[in-house]
Amino acid sequence: MIISNDEKLPIIKKKTDKLNPSITDFDKTFENNIRPKTFDSYIGQTNLKSMLKISIEAAKKRNVPLDHLLFYGPPGLGKTTLACVIANETSSEIKITSAPAIERPRDIIGILMSLKPGEVLFIDEIHRLNKVAEEILYPAMEDFFLDMNTGKGQSLKTLRVPIPKFTLIGATTKAGALSGPLRDRFGIVHRLEFYSKEELKQVIIRTAEILNISITDKGAEAVAMRSRGTPRIANRLVKRVSDYALVKSNGVVDEQIANKALDNLNIDKTGLDGTDRGLIKIIAEKYQGGPVGLETLAAALGEDSKTIEEVYEPYLLQEGYIQRTPRGRKITPYAVKMLNLNNSNVQQTLFE
């Protein structure tokens, strides 16, 4: 696999905090070093991988590029990594970009015109693609043509310009925000799942080996427990825990050191961080357990509503701490128990 180093390719930078699995500049270098390159080293997502292997094999036999793919799910679950694995496994080059960086028609036209036959084009946050860029993409995805307008008024003509056959891989945290016509043009649409503790443990052991970090089996388990089902967080934590081990002990990450370091980072045994706990507590204490609307919640928490919806909520929903109802977010009896919330108002609304 060759990652294009075309400097003109627009690439977006995202802001982040310590547990937010969005990507930082530091992460980019760090992640490129530890990113799995093959299906064998890409841990978990078993169903998706076996389905992809069949699709790749079939495309090879038919001698056509792989169908366009859409991956969706919370940040840090391995969408970009999987796109790179696919490029590698199909011996293709890959261009990586992000929808907010494709502002003008000429951005998307430039990218499409520069593709090589069989190349993979990865567009992150594809739900944020603007309407004009989307419409340029439709014929490109369907028939590998660009419709270009020339002339003005009565002499306006549309030229169909052929482009090389390519595979578009879109990634999004919000599949529901994609327009119907764009979504329909993907041959394969798949959700990435949160990782089990066992899978995260494998991610951690693999990363520790690459970074020369000594970690015991129990140490890896302790980090996995608190990684919110997300490889990006697991990788970040293993590094932080290893720093702690180096400074406070003999450098070996065992269970005790891992737990101490993670306590120090304010991440509790279930993997919830300060923002997660704050979000649950605000619903419990300020809104009697909910329901409360997303915007109200965001204002009370001092967080961006998108970050709450796309980064924090998915894990809290999956683990059963909160529920989404038509009238807003509610906490669950499980959250009351786990966070030891003792408020009689809360209990009443929850069991209604």
Query: Catalytic amino acids?
Result: 79-80, 124, 173, 232
130-152 as b/e, with b when 16 or more CB fall inside 10 Å?
Answer: eeebbebbebbbeebbbeeeeee
Among 43, 241, 253, 279, binds ligand ADP (CB under 6 A): 43
By the 8 A CB rule, do 68 and 187 touch?
yes
Among 68, 79, 127, 329, binds ligand ADP (CB under 6 A): 79
- Among the listed residues 148, 170, 167, the one whose alpha carbon sits nearest the alpha carbon of residue 70: 170
Amino acid at 155: S
Q: Please count the other Cβ atoms lying within 10 Å of the Cβ belonging to residue 199.
A: 19
Among 4, 80, 97, 307, binds ligand ADP (CB under 6 A): 80
Surface-to-core class of residue 175, CB atoms within 10 Å of its CB (0-12 exposed, 13-18 middle, 19+ buried): middle
Contact stretch for ligand ADP (CB under 6 A) within 11-19, 36-44, 263-271, 344-352? 36-44
Closer of 65 and 78 to ligand ADP (Cβ): 78
Q: For tokens 């530890």, what's the residue?
A: 34
Site for ligand ADP in 199-238 (CB under 6 A): 203, 231-232, 235
Among 19, 34, 109, 225, binds ligand ADP (CB under 6 A): 34
Contact stretch for ligand ADP (CB under 6 A) within 3-11, 69-77, 214-222, 254-262? 69-77
Q: Order the strands of the 167-172 sheet from edge to edge.
A: 2-3, 93-98, 120-124, 167-172, 69-72, 188-191
Binding pattern for the stretch 169-198 against ligand ADP, x by CB under 6 A and - elsewhere: --x---------------------------
By the 8 A CB rule, do 185 and 68 touch?
yes
- Among the listed residues 116, 110, 137, 108, the one whose alpha carbon sits nearest the alpha carbon of residue 2: 116
Task: Give the residue nearest to ligand ADP (CB).
Answer: 78
- Among the listed residues 295, 55, 69, the one whose alpha carbon sits nearest the alpha carbon of residue 172: 69
Please count the residues of this chain forming the interface with ligand ADP, following the rule CB under 6 A.
Answer: 20
Q: Does 127 interact with ligand ADP (rule: CB under 6 A)?
A: no
By the 8 A CB rule, do 328 and 290 touch?
yes
Contact stretch for ligand ADP (CB under 6 A) within 29-37, 62-70, 146-154, 255-263? 29-37
How near is the Cβ of 129 to ligand ADP at its closest, in Å? 16
How near is the Cβ of 283 to ligand ADP at its closest, in Å? 27
How near is the Cβ of 53 to ligand ADP at its closest, in Å? 14
> Contact positions toward ligand ADP, by CB under 6 A?
31, 34-36, 42-45, 75-81, 171, 203, 231-232, 235
